Homo-oligomer: A and B are copies of this chain.
Amino acid sequence: MTSPKSLSRTAPSTVTATTIVSSLLTVQTAGAGFTDLSTEVEKFVREAGAREGAVTLFIRHTSASLTIQENADPTVLGDLMTALNRAAPENAGWRHDTEGPDDMPAHIKSALTQTSLSIPIGRGALLLGTWQGLYLFEHRDRPHRREVVFHISA
């Protein structure tokens, strides 16, 4: 383990929290792959008039998930799919195959990524890093209708 040799922190800023704002996003996916939700979440934060706080996203499914990944070079997302396909290959002796060979691998990929994610809000904007995109990650081969709850505490 490396020691925190050079570690600095800004002075805390404090505000009074008064509101919770919620909304349900419905996404029609096109099959396995990524749907960028960043713009939609930013729009929600603006609509809610949130200045300081956090937005929590929650996906109401177990064969699709959420992930924050690089938004610049699309081969990152492609390679991430490859990595998860290797970790959860089809036809690898799974007992659960009710809906086909992509069924159980989709559950495993969901378990290895995120069902809920929280992103802080500062000065009315999501505090995502420059290269961070927020994605719905569809793990089933065929298109699905997915629901994501947006929840702001600000």
B52 lies within 8 A of A27 (CB) = no
Q: Which residues of chain B have C-beta atoms less than 8 A from A54's C-beta?
A: 20, 56, 151, 153
Chain B residues in 8 Å Cβ range of A60: 127-130, 132
Number of copies: 3
- The answer to whether residues A131 and B17 also contact, given A33-B2, A36-B1, A54-B153 and a CB cut-off of 8 A, is no
Within 8 Å CB of A124, what residues of B? none
Does B87 lie within 8 Å of A104, measured CB to CB? Answer: no
Q: Which residue of B lies closest to A74 (CB)?
A: B1
What 0/1 readout, one digit per residue, does chain A (97-115) give for beta carbons within 8 Å of chain B? 0100000100110111111
- State whether the Cβ of A91 lies closer than 8 Å to any Cβ in chain B: no
Q: In this complex, what residue of B is CB-closest to A41?
A: B9
A-B pairs, top 8 by smallest CB distance, nearest first, are A60-B129, A6-B28, A2-B30, A75-B96, A75-B95, A1-B34, A120-B151, A83-B108
Please give the residue numbers on chain A whose beta carbons come within 8 Å of chain B beta carbons, in ascending order: 1-31, 33-37, 40, 44, 47-48, 52-54, 56, 58, 60-63, 67-70, 73-80, 82-83, 87-88, 93-96, 98, 104, 107-108, 110-120, 122, 127-132, 135, 138, 147, 149-151, 153-154
Contacts A9-B24, A13-B22, A22-B122 aside, 10 further interface pairs with beta carbons under 8 A come to A16-B20, A17-B19, A20-B52, A20-B54, A20-B153, A60-B129, A69-B107, A79-B94, A79-B107, A83-B111
